[in-house]
Amino acid sequence: MTTIRSLTSRLQRVPLTRPWAADVTSVGIIATHVVRSDGGEGWGFSWSPQIGAPAVQSLLQHDIAPASVGRSAVPGEAWQSLWEHLHEAGGGGITTIALAGLDLALWDAEARAADTSVSRLIGCRRERVRAYGSGVNLHYPLEELLAQVQRWIDAGFDAVKIKVGKPDLSEDIERVAAVRALLGPDRALMIDANQRWDLDRATTSIDALSRFDLAWIEEPLRADDLIGHTELARRIDVPIAVGENLHTVHRFADFLRAGAAQIVQPNIVRVGGITPLLRIAGLAAAHGVALHPHLLPELSGQLALTLPDTAFEPLVEDVEDAGFGALGALADPSPVTVADGFLTENEHQGLGIRFSPVLGDEAGRDLTT
């Protein structure tokens, strides 16, 4: 049996070209490297935009690395037992984010050993996937927001997503109306409240905004409010999208069973990597619910090519100037290209995601055990 011989990591911060907020000017990357007993190597990463990156690396160093050495290096085989080992520190959140660093590296190593990409190893179901323009833009003045939307139109996107949740609902209405007018009737428009509303405010706001033909409302309530989302789904006609802040297969199952979400958006790192993402995809398909992976297009795009065929085509989120390739953070050419509203893969081995140590490198500590 091929086993895990060692795990190392490097913590670094990658500056953002367009800050997501006054205090979010970079994202934290914990680049991981696994070596197998057969000499095979793989590279992965954990990710946290602003909070918790040092804690993630500490968990990797003190708990995941020593517990993983000697376990199976076959992708997925050790995931559940390691999750159970970490459960005392929490079933999801920092624990699953840290587990992704190992899981992604193991998938990368397996594909590299087979001289192929991870998507081909899993099995591609499509050659390209639609992408939509997205941005962290609630703080943009209206003129700047419209300029961003125009860039997405010029780039060939037929779907875009903007932030809502201004203190004054009239300002949200003005902004969404202006964006819809610029998009015209034939492009899809999604809105994201980033958990800013309570149930009554969400009901009122969505009632007022639904006339702008919304494809979905994302995170209208606190992310873990299952009862609230279930009730909101009963009250409104706009599909509800959740998932970027749900961290386990079990929590996705809760939302799907309750009918609290019509779209799920797992972040592959936050749920713990590719292994649980594939389980969530199976759940979504079984419930007839769309799955659009959250953020990280270099990773999400590859997995979207492999998702089960359902009535809903997966969409990949392309946040403006936030992809690792666009930020100059990758040591190799990007494994994907987004052009004319579609994401396609470029030739590469494994995941094709290895980080250059030159941007914001915090030097990390050797996690080899």
Q: Which of 163, 229, 247, 292 is catalytic?
A: 163
Is residue 268 a contact partner of residue 236, using CB atoms and an 8 Å limit?
A: no
- Dig out the tokens for 9 from the structure: 């990591």
- Measured between alpha carbons, how far is residue 147 from residues 37, 153, 154, 317 in Å? 52, 10, 10, 19
Q: How far apart are CA 54 and CA 100, in angstroms?
A: 15
Q: How far apart are CA 37 and CA 3, in angstroms?
A: 5
User: Tokens 């398909």 sit at which residue?
Assistant: 285
Q: Which of 33, 161, 292, 294 is catalytic?
A: 294
Is residue 78 a contact partner of residue 68, using CB atoms and an 8 Å limit?
A: yes
**Is residue 163 among the annotated active site residues?**
yes
Q: Phi/psi of residue 227, each to 5°?
A: -65, -45
> Where in the sequence numbering do the catalytic residues fall?
163, 294
